[in-house]
Amino acid sequence: MLSPLFQKWFSSKGWQVRSHQLTLIEKAFIKQQSTLLIAPTGAGKTLAGFLPTLCDLEQKIENGTISNQLHTIYISPLKALAQDVARNVEQPIHEMGLKIDIETRTGDTPASKKQRQKEKPPHILMTTPEQLSLMLAHPDWLEHFKHLRYLILDELHALVVSKRGDLLALDMARLCQYSPSLVHIGLSATVAAPDSLRGYLMPQINKMTGEIYEPFQKSELVTVASTLEANITVLKTEAAIPWSGHGAAHVIDDIYQIIKAHKTTLIFVNTRRQAEMFFQDLWVINEDNLAIALHHGSLDVTQRRKVEAAMVAGQLKAIVCTSTLDLGIDWGDVDLVINLGAPKGVSRILQRIGRSNHRMNEASKAILVPSNRFEVMECQVAMEAALRGEQDSAEPRTGGLDVLAQHILGVAVSDPFLKQDLYLQICSSWPYRHLSLEDFEQVIDFVATGGYALRAYEEFAKIKVDEDGYHRISNKKIAQNYRMNVGTIVSALMIKIKLVKQSNQRHQPQGAAPFKNRARGGRILGEVEESFIAQLSPGDTFVFAGEVLQFEATYETEAYVIKAPFKDPKIPSYMGGKFPLSTHLADALRMMFSDERRQQILPDQVKEWLVLQKQKSQLPNLDKLLIETFPHKDRFYLVCYPFEGILVHQTLGVLLTRRLERAGAKPLGFVAGEYALSIWGLGDMGKLLENGSLNLADLFAEDMLGDDLDAWLQESSLMKYTFWQCATIAGLIERNQIGEHKTARQTMISSDLIYNVLRTHDPDHILLQATYQEAATGLLDIARLGHMLKRIQGKFNHIALDHVSPLAVPVMLEIGKELVFGEGRESLIYEAAQELIDEAMKE
């Protein structure tokens, strides 16, 4: 099947062409079928993905039918990956002496090069989903797309679970309009439901009948099984295992010895904050001066590239990193992966483990390191599930209406459309295959005039319909604005951290002005959320980029810092990084709690903890939700153990407190953990439950998701945040406007005000629907809460205790540790006011 040239090249490398590579050539090149390739890292997945393209181009060169047309587009979720893959594919092309042009196009590509590409595209273009949307918004590119033969989607499992995947699917449907016989090749890590990914690669509308395929169309599938079992263990230690917290200080010596004993170790942590803390801790004991580096998404790009280059060159002994290294890039000779903290999900941990021994001929080696007692159990069940090869990766999303709005404007910008044609095209994409005509029309209406029930803006319409029914934009400025606001990644405003020179003067005026000179030539270390910088006062110290820094001043979008004399730093508390525990692992954990025999493999400290819990209270079990009540220091507590992750527990906490307040239990607050939820108040909830004035079935009834949820959503800051994101993606709030630099904060009207007005006066508005849809699966995870409430209906195990139980200790220790967030913030005003009153009373 391979041409002589390819055969020669493979043997010149001393390689044997792999069977999945041949199968892919057969399906995607010879038979021209769209195909999904599922393979563990290191299986030569990327090269396999390009083989059909290279075979086709080589044949055309041989036949003399090669033309200077765009042939293949490769899409990667990461800019860096696109560049990395370009280099890797250039090599065989160069070695085989093929005259094929490969170029990259990312946000970093200069405008002149982009312009040139638009006039004369390369054969193979490596790019990102956002760039594809931008190209589709230019009529010139549409001509080039007619020649497109292959679309290669890398790391598909990561793309399809985000709004970027929604936008990409819509763009794919458009590409098929210009190139109907386009072949899609998806490259993915092992996932729980490969069929959805296969569906994602295929048009789901039958062009002849205009009907949706039932059952859905699936692409071809090529699977490469991992041939070797991974070697996964949970770290055993003599050290005392903490009750709560997310650090690993207690096992730092163990880990240091392990790093020394291996060639190169990748240490994954869950948040940037943990990365910074652990990196600091390691360097404190790094007597041997091992080359240990730090890598996370907030660090400056050049810094990250340096670390990556050192890694590839084999100069590093260890890297402490966050999920930024989850994807793609080949790191060479990693012989150990350490995962610090909760694994959260099996697929997640398997993908991380796959970063070691990329060569596939050796078993991957990984150690899971729990940071507290609950995590010991989570690590144990995650390890067992991983060894069984189970998967719990998320399913592709149902397409967001906000993304659809952005896309529709994009279509109108470059290619005027008929409503019915566009509807069918959109329904042919996997995430939108069930989109109703009504929703579609509402979204068009929204894009055109805002879609308000009060039809006030007809005269300002962005999209107009001509006599033939074609929808087109009403003026050119709209196209420009669209191009400046493409994309689905809406992030908090980021502030650059700039290291400036120390001042010689002992006394200096306050503020940014005296720093402007010193800032010249200062080094950018990376960036953090504005909300974090806003918490700092000049003189405050924090850890960033592996150094202890002292905050001095802010100027525009930069924060000036100097190196701090080493003292106890105030640790960054970044947003994000809060993945919930997967339902799969949650089930496995509940199972372990209810199975005493299986608990025997746990370390003694944890076993003793569980035995103590059994003596004082009970262990959670599979059938019933364990609820404990007890008094503690003038307060009464209710602790329950749903194991549904922090997002669900937060929402549950808000709704339960509302209900408890109505029931007269006088709740004061709650704290949500990954495994448990604790609510406290002035009323004795244990007594109220026992004398029947409080009823658990009522308290946890499913109708909680009705009026109570609705009432809370009106005020919820998480909901307002979700609305802000949807409104930005949908184009109601513009991130960038022509000729103006607008920061996230300075949009003309706060989205909170818009949210309030819209909820009151147009509650069925399409943008609110988009927001609820997002909230159901996003930050509020209402869907999962709904499943849980259904599961536990009427099944409770209430234990009234005299004091806190061993199992409740971890969540009790969280109280007061975290910053007050969300709804509780409001009450701080009264605290401040009370201080004023107290002061007045003193006088």
Partner 1 sequence: MTSSINQCDKFEIHHIFHGLELHLHASGAIWLEKLKTLLIADLHLEKGSSLAQKGMLIPPYDTRQTLEKLDEVMAYFKPEHVITLGDNFHDHKGPQRLSKQDLSLLNKLMQRAKFTWIEGNHDNPNYYKSQLSVASQTNDEIFYNPVQHFQLEDISLIHDAAQGAKAPMMVGHLHPLALLKQRNVYLRKTCFFISKDICILPSFGSYTGGLNVRHDAFSPYWDDDTKIFMLNSNQVVQVPITKLVKNKRG
Residues 705-734 that bind partner 1 (CB under 8 A): 715, 732-734
User: What part of residues 751-810 is at the interface with partner 1 (CB under 8 A)?
Assistant: 753-754, 756-758, 760-762, 765
Is 557 among the residues that bind partner 1 (CB under 8 A)? yes
Q: Is 569 in the site for partner 1 (CB under 8 A)?
A: no
> What mask of x and - would describe binding to partner 1 in positions 433 to 452, judged by CB under 8 A?
----------------xx-x
Q: Using the minimum distance from each CB to partner 1, give the nearer residue, 257 or 760.
A: 760
For CA atoms 656, 660, 661, 666, give the dihedral sign: negative
Length of the chain: 843
410 lies in the site for partner 1, by CB under 8 A? no
Select 231 or 557, whichever has its Cβ closest to partner 1.
557
C-alpha pair distances (Å), 205 with each of 134, 150, 211, 411, 676 = 25, 20, 5, 19, 45
Pick from 500, 75, 496, 499: which is nearest to 327 by CA? 75
| Residue carrying the six token digits 């048009």 | 203
**Contacts with partner 1, 646-665, as mask; x by CB under 8 A:** x---x--xx--x---x----
Return phi, psi of residue 225, to 5°.
-80, 145
Partner residues linked to 321 by β-bridges? 268, 295
Residue 669 in the binding site for partner 1 (CB under 8 A): yes
Nearer to partner 1, 24 or 718 (CB): 718
C-alpha–C-alpha distance, residues 111 and 138, integer Å: 14
Q: Could you check whether the bond before residue 215 is cis, i.e. omega within 30 degrees of 0?
A: yes
Identity of the residue numbered 656:
L
Token pair 């199968």 in the structure block, residue: 23
Minimum CB distance to partner 1, residue 471 (Å): 16
* Beta strands 150-153 and 72-75, pairing class: parallel
- Confirm or reject binding of residue 841 to partner 1 (CB under 8 A): no
Bridge partners, 336 (sequence order)? 265
At CA 229, angle to CA 224 and CA 231, rounded to 5? 135
Span of 76-84, 414-422, 552-560, 785-793 interacting with partner 1 by CB under 8 A:
552-560
What are the helix (H) ranges across 96-137? 111-119, 129-136
Shortest distance, CB of residue 79 to partner 1, whole angstroms?
28
What's the closest the beta carbon of residue 766 comes to partner 1, in angstroms?
12
Q: Which stretch binds partner 1 (CB under 8 A): 283-291, 533-541, 542-550, 693-701?
A: 533-541
- DSSP assignment, residue 621? -
Residue 728: CB minimum distance to partner 1, A: 12
Q: Least Å distance between CB 409 and partner 1?
A: 11
Total residues binding partner 1 (CB under 8 A): 72
Which of residues 559 and 625 has its CB atom nearest to partner 1 in the complex? Answer: 559
Residue 496 interacts with partner 1 (CB under 8 A): yes or no: no
| 8 Å CB contact between 670 and 627 | no
Q: How far is CA 637 from CA 40, 686, 699, 811, 812, in A?
A: 47, 8, 15, 11, 9
Rule CB under 8 A: say whether 835 interacts with partner 1: yes
- Is the CB of 630 or the CB of 670 nearer to partner 1? 670
Cα-Cα-Cα-Cα dihedral sign, residues 381, 384, 388, 392: positive
Three-state helix/strand/coil letters over 279-308 = HHHHHHCCCCCCCEEEECCCECHHHHHHHH
Least distance from partner 1 to the Cβ atom of residue 320, Å = 26
Kind plus residue range of the DSSP H or E element containing 734: none
Closest distance of CB 323 from partner 1, Å: 22
Closest to partner 1 by CB, 480 or 618: 480
- Choose, by CB under 8 A, the member of 316, 672, 699, 775 that binds partner 1: 672
Distance of closest approach, residue 740 Cβ to partner 1, in angstroms: 12
CB of 831 to partner 1, least distance (A): 6
The answer to the question of residue 131 lying near partner 1 (CB under 8 A) is no
DSSP 71-103: -EEEE-S-HHHHHHHHHHHHHHHHHTT----EE
Options 41, 128, 554, 617; binder of partner 1; rule CB under 8 A:
554
Task: Name which of residues 297 to 336 contact partner 1 (CB under 8 A).
Answer: none
Question: Which of residues 62, 333, 556, 707 is near partner 1 by CB under 8 A?
Answer: 556
The interface with partner 1 within residues 165-184 (CB under 8 A) comprises none
Integer Cα distance of 606 and 806 in angstroms: 11
The Cα 283–Cα 684 span in angstroms is 49
**Nearer to partner 1 among residue 332 and residue 816 (C-beta):** 816
Q: Does 481 bind partner 1 (CB under 8 A)?
A: yes
Q: Which residue has the tokens 């563990």?
A: 40
Determine, following the binding rule CB under 8 A, whether residue 824 of this chain makes contact with partner 1.
yes
462 touching partner 1, by CB under 8 A: yes
Is residue 827 a contact residue for partner 1 (CB under 8 A)?
yes
Please report whether residue 818 would count as binding partner 1 according to CB under 8 A.
yes
Helix intervals (H) in 100-223 = 111-119, 129-136, 139-145, 156-159, 163-178, 194-200
Residue closer to partner 1 (CB basis): 155 or 558: 558
Q: Considering beta carbons, is residue 536 or 585 the nearer one to partner 1?
A: 536
Cis-peptide, bond into residue 122, ω within 30° of zero: no
Residues 61-100 that bind partner 1 (CB under 8 A): none
- The single residue among 420, 457, 601, 803 that binds partner 1, judged by CB under 8 A, is 457
Per CB under 8 A, the list member of 91, 605, 615, 834 interacting with partner 1 is: 834
Sign of CA dihedral 287, 289, 292, 293: positive
> What one-character DSSP code corresponds to residue 433?
T
**192 contacts: CB under 8 Å, gap ≥ 6:** 347, 391, 392, 393, 395
Residue of 11, 19, 68, 535 interacting with partner 1 (CB under 8 A): 535
Rank residues 269 and 732 by Cβ distance to partner 1 and give the closer one: 732
